[in-house]
Amino acid sequence: MNTLTITGTLLVALLCAAPGLGGQQATPQNPQAIFEKAQRALFAGDYAQAEQGFREVLKIDPRAAPAYANLGVVYIRTNQYDSAIKALTEAKRLAPQVVGIDLNLGLAYYHKRDFPNAIPAFERVVKASPGHAQARFLLGMSHFMTDDYERTVQTLEPLLSDEKDNLDFLFVLGISYGKLKRNSDSEKTFEQLVRAGGDTAHMHLLMGKAYLDLYQNQKAQSELERAVALDPKIPYAHFNLGVAYQRQGMLDKAGAEFEAEMAVTPREPWSYENRGTVYLEQGDPNRAIESFRKALALNPKMPQSLAGVGKAHMRMGQPSEAVRHLKQAVELQPDSANMHYQLGQAYLKTGRRADAQKEFDEAGRLQAEARQKQEDRISGKLPAPEVPPQ
C-alpha cells in the first residue's frame, strides 16, 4: 500500500468532467477543451500552464467545480497552501458530493500544518469510504499532531497489518499507546519497529525520539547514542541525544551534542535555543544570550528563546531588558503560565507592582486551567447534575 509518511508527499489529483461542457477545440466557447489541456499540463508538471488554463475555464464558467478542484491541486503542488484551501473550499461548495475534494482540502491543511482543520476534511472521506487507507492514515497522523492519542489509536489500528513495515506509522502508534499507558501494546509496536527498521541509524533515531516523548530518558539515551555511532551526520540525532542528556542533568554532554547538531543542521534554530538553556543552567548568562540570539536570527518568533534572553538579563541584574524580551515572548505564547510568571518577576524588579500582579494572576489562572484539563483527561468530565422535579 502506498500511503503518506510523516516526511513524504502523496497528492491525488481530482479528475471529474465539467458537466454540460463540450467541444474539442480550445476556444473561448469550448471550456471543456481548455480544461483538458490544463489537465494534461497538470499531469506533465507544467503548473504555470495548468493554472492559466483552469483560470480561463473559470472566466467562462465561474461555477465549474472541477476547475476549482484541479486549481487547488496545482496550488498544493506548488506549496501555495492558502490559495489551495481557497480554491478547494469553493470547489466543495459547488460540488459537496465529491469526496476527492475533501481529500485534497485535507492535504492542503495538512501540509500547512493546520491539523485541526485537516481533521474534519479527512473525517468526511473516511466516513464516505471507511476503507480509504490514505485518508485514514492522514487522519490518524493529524490526531497525533494535535495530541489526541485516543483517536490516533482508534484511527490507525485498522491499518496495522498493512503498515507493519512503515517506520513512521509504527513510531506514531507506539508513542500513542505509551501516552495512553497501554504499555504492552507500546512495547510490541516498538519491537515491530526494530524488526522493520533493522540496526540502522534512522531506526535508532525513531526509537530514541519515541522514548523521549514518553520521558523514558535512559532508554532514549541508549537508542540515540547508537544512532550517532552508526551515522554521526544523521540530522536531529545529536539534538535529541542532547535533550536526553539535559533531562538527566548531564549538562556538559548535552551542550556538546547541541553543538554537534549545529554542525549537521546549521540552519535549524532549536540546537542554539537548547544550548542557550544549558548555558543558563550552567550559570553563564552572557553565553546564553549569545546562543539565544543565534536562534532568533534564524527564527525571530521563538518564544522560548525570547524568554531565555529575558531570564539571562534578570540574572545579570537588568530587569528592564528582561521585561522587554519577556513581553515579546508572552505575546507569542500567551498561554504559558511560566512566561507570565517570569514577566511578573521582572515587573517587580522594576517597581511596577500592579503590572506584576496582573501577570501573576494570569499565571495562576492558566495553571488552574491546565490542572482542570489534566483532571478531565484522566477522569472525564462529570455529567451535569439532574434538576429534581418540582
Instruction: Report the candidate in 90, 20, 104 with the shortest Cα–Cα distance to residue 55.
Output: 90
pTM score, whole prediction: 0.73
Cα–Cα distance between 345 and 342 in angstroms, integer? 5
Predicted confidence (pLDDT) per residue in 317-358, tens digit: 999 999 999 999 999 999 999 999 999 999 999 999 999 999
Cell 465529491 belongs to 98
3-state secondary structure of 23: coil
Cα–Cα distance between 347 and 340 in angstroms, integer? 10
pLDDT computed for residue 10 by the predictor: 31
3-state secondary structure of 390: coil
CB-count exposure of residue 217 (10 Å: 0-12, 13-18, 19+):
middle
pLDDT band at 31 (very low <50, low <70, confident <90, very high): confident
Q: Are 169 and 38 in contact (CB under 8 A)?
A: no
Copy the grid coordinates of residue 74. 496545482
- Give the mean pLDDT of 208-232: 96
Q: Could you give the C-alpha distances from 364 to 146, 247, 360, 367, in angstroms and in order? A: 25, 26, 6, 5
DSSP per-residue string spanning 95-158: -TT-HHHHHHHHHHHHHTT-HHHHHHHHHHHHHH-TT-HHHHHHHHHHHHHTT-HHHHHHHHGG
Instruction: Name the percent of the chain lying above pLDDT 90.
Output: 86
If you compute the radius of gyration of the chain from its CA atoms, what whole number of angstroms results? 26
pLDDT computed for residue 28 by the predictor: 52
Q: Which domains does the chain have, with CATH numbers?
A: 16-96 (1.25.40.10), 111-196 (1.25.40.10)
- Give the mean pLDDT of 362-375: 86
Mean pLDDT, the chain, rounded, equals 89
DSSP per-residue string spanning 250-314: -HHHHHHHHHHHHHH-TT-SHHHHHHHHHHHHTT-HHHHHHHHHHHHHH-S--HHHHHHHHHHHH
Predicted confidence (pLDDT) per residue in 309-328, tens digit: 999 999 999 999 999 999 99
Please give the backbone phi and psi of residue 148, each rounded to the nearest 5 degrees, phi first: -100, 85
Predicted confidence (pLDDT) per residue in 60-117, tens digit: 999 999 999 999 999 999 999 999 999 999 999 999 999 999 999 999 999 999 999 9
- Give the mean pLDDT of 369-381: 67
> Does pLDDT of 194 surpass 80?
yes
Q: Are 355 and 345 in contact (CB under 8 A)?
A: no
Instruction: Report the candidate in 125, 59, 65 with the shortest Cα–Cα distance to residue 95.
Output: 65
